Structure 1
Amino acid sequence: MFANKLTPEQRQVVFDLAANLAAADNDVSEEEIGYLQSFSEAYGIEYNLDKVDINYDDLLTVLDTKASRIITLQELIKLSYKDGHFGKEEQDKVFLIAQKMGLNDASLIMRIEKWVRQGFDWVYEGEQMLELD
């Protein structure tokens, strides 16, 4: 939803970082693959998961506004939750990316993580209500 506020180049960076992050725990789940496929289809990005050797410093220069950096972290955390939990390897990588983007404020990262978690809770609660029929 917020990724539509990014430029095409910034969306490519989000995809590349997300594909790299999905492999952080050496197990790309079906849910993560679904997220990456949907993201690539929605924004016309080539679906390519071979992002192991990406250069963070080069990619992150494209994220030239605070909003683009926050949206990127939101998308990365959202991907991390797709397999049911925000694992240690994923957390470490997200925090590393946040630091490289100059977002060293732990409270901001916690707010973004809470925002994502609340979104998942909102969807889950709605699905539960619809299943009551």
Structure 2
Amino acid sequence: MFVDRLSQAQRQALLDLAVITAGIDNDVSEEEMQYLEELSVNYGLNLDLENHRTSSIDDLISVLDSKQSKVIVLQELIKLSYKDGHFGPEEQQKVFQIAQKLGLNDPELLLAIEKWVRQGFDWLHEGEQLLN
């Protein structure tokens, strides 16, 4: 998992940004909640569902100090956004806003990351179909 390449502080920032992203449409799905809980448990992170009201995105992204960490976080946020079956307009807007703040506002890069995530979901789905 690419999250393993992040420092503990970067993982916490990812989780906090994921809470913000999951809550943007005012409906945290069961799948999104499962993602947040797994990230928290797997890496010993503090899951604070109220955090989106107190943490600023600028403060959270300040620990993302390499292109690699920024791309991993964006990939994870897009992956989270797909957890409920679609990458909705509110989620897209929030992820693109975060991408801009990260300095990753190259449309081709964003499309490549989104394609990477979609292909991952397709790969998992195809595997499930083969096993059934």
**Scaled by the length of structure 1, what TM-score is found?**
0.97
In structure 2, the partner of 1:51 is 51
In the alignment, what sits opposite 1:41? 41
1:61 equivalent in structure 2:
62
| DSSP-derived class of the 2:52 partner | coil
> Could you say which residue in structure 1 is the equivalent of 2:5?
5
**Matching residue's letter, 2:126:** E
| Total equivalences in the alignment | 131
What is the CA deviation profile of residues 27-63 of structure 1, one whole-angstrom value per residue up to 9, with x for unaligned ones?
0000000000000011000222112222111111100
Equivalent position of 1:32 in the other structure? 32
TM-score (norm: length of structure 2):
0.97
Is the contact between residue 19 and residue 36 of structure 2 (CA under 8 Å) also seen in structure 1? yes
Give the Cα–Cα distance (whole angstroms) in 2 for the partners of residues 109 and 39 of structure 1: 23
Q: How does 1:80-95 map to 2 (within 5 A)?
A: 80-95=81-96
The answer for unaligned runs of 5 or more in structure 2 is none
Structure 1, unaligned stretches of length 5 or more? none
C-alpha offsets along residues 3-44 of structure 1, whole Å, 9 cap, x if unaligned?
A: 000000000000000011000111000000000000001100
DSSP-derived class of the 2:65 partner: coil
CA distance in 2, matches of 1:9, 1:111: 26
Moved over 6 A (4+): none
Of 41-50 and 66-75, the range deviating more from structure 2: 41-50
User: In the alignment, which residue of structure 2 is the partner of 1:106?
Assistant: 107
Q: What is the alpha-carbon distance in structure 1 between the residues aligned to residue 79 and residue 105 of structure 2?
A: 19
